């Protein structure tokens, strides 16, 4: 099971890289010669527009947007990075085994992301028709089940619950009684639980909630937490999200499936020997 979780994590990382890379390609594509324009020279080493853009992509999106009018600040970071790298070479840190291992891992990471992005872009064939067909075949994944919004009052004993129910039948406001009597953390919000679907609450509570009409107050409901009285404030029927709303989710699902297959094929055809038994995986 840990192995499966690891695979999912790796696919998620690669998927994010692909989506990010494709967005950058479409929004910031430039001729190859323009990317090699020299923007600065540090102790004889040229820093190009491509170097600048690659560093910029490491920042959060909001910083990238800010950098449009503050290019000098990013250039200062690039120059600082170059100066520190040059200093590291003077100190022969690039020959340190630990540093070399970090460089190898980062090089492999960049290559891995680039390979996946190239294959997805050129070979995955994720067309509009493929997206529509996948959506039609997996509609259950894009269906939101019936939901209810409700308030509740929680007390310890059946006697207390009967007293609360009597107050409500006498016309007292449900939210006011919840604030005064409920033991639940929702008491300060008048017992408001927000909106929930099937499977979100304990079975007894869920059964009672979904049986109520809007505005109806329940009988006593006993759960492991005590005695509940609830009132449904809204019901939302199940609905299928339209394709336009989930198109990017469908695209991501297709990319993820393609990357899964790609990785499985690479593993199956590779000659892998785990020397230390503690590091064996399925």
- Chain Cα centroid distance, residue 183: 34
What pLDDT shows up at residue 20? 59
- Compute CA distances 117 → 37, 60, 121, 173, 264, whole Å: 25, 20, 6, 58, 17
Q: Which residue would you say has higher pLDDT here, 14 or 212?
A: 212
Predicted structure pTM score: 0.67
What pLDDT shows up at residue 31? 54
* pLDDT tens digit sequence for 252-264: 999 999 999 999 9
217: β partners: 231
Assigned token pair, 51: 């170097």
Q: Which residue would you say has higher pLDDT here, 63 or 133?
A: 133
* pLDDT tens digit sequence for 149-187: 999 999 999 999 999 999 999 999 999 999 999 999 999
Give yes or no for residue 98 having a pLDDT over 70. yes
At 35, the pLDDT band (50, 70, 90 cuts) reads confident
At 28, the pLDDT band (50, 70, 90 cuts) reads very low
* pLDDT tens digit sequence for 78-91: 999 999 999 999 99
Residues 6+ apart with CB under 8 A from 162: 220
Nearest to 82 by CA among 38, 125, 29: 38
At 32, the pLDDT band (50, 70, 90 cuts) reads low
Gap between the Cα atoms of 190 and 118, Å rounded: 54
* pLDDT tens digit sequence for 102-117: 999 999 999 999 999 9
What pLDDT shows up at residue 67? 86
Give yes or no for residue 4 having a pLDDT over 90. no
Give yes or no for residue 282 having a pLDDT over 80. no
């Amino acid at each position: 099971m840990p192995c499966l979780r690891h695979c999912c994590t790796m696919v998620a990382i690669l998927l994010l890289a692909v989506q990010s890379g494709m967005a950058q390609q479409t929004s910031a594509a430039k001729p190859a010669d323009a990317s090699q324009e020299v923007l600065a020279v540090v102790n004889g080493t040229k820093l190009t527009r491509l170097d600048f853009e690659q560093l910029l992509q490491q920042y959060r999106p909001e910083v990238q947007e800010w950098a449009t009018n503050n290019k000098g600040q990013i250039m200062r970071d690039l120059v600082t990075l170059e100066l520190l790298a040059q200093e590291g070479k003077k100190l022969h840190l690039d020959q340190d085994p630990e540093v070399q291992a970090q460089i190898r891992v980062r090089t492999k990471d960049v290559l891995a992301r680039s390979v996946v992005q190239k294959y997805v872009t050129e070979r995955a064939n994720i067309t509009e028709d493929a997206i529509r067909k996948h959506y039609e075949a997996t509609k259950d994944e894009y269906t939101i089940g019936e939901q209810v919004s409700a308030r509740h009052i929680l007390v310890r004993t059946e006697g207390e619950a009967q007293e609360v129910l009597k107050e409500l039948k006498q016309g007292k406001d449900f939210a006011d009684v919840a604030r005064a009597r409920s033991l639940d953390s929702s008491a300060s919000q008048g017992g408001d639980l927000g909106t929930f679907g099937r499977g979100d609450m304990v079975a007894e509570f869920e059964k009672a909630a979904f049986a109520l009409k809007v505005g109806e107050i329940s009988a006593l409901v006993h759960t492991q937490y005590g005695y509940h009285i609830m009132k449904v404030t809204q019901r939302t029927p199940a609905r299928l999200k339209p394709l336009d709303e989930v198109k990017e989710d469908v695209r991501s699902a297709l990319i993820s499936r393609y990357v899964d297959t790609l990785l499985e094929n690479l593993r199956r055809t590779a000659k892998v020997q785990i020397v230390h038994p503690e590091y064996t995986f399925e």
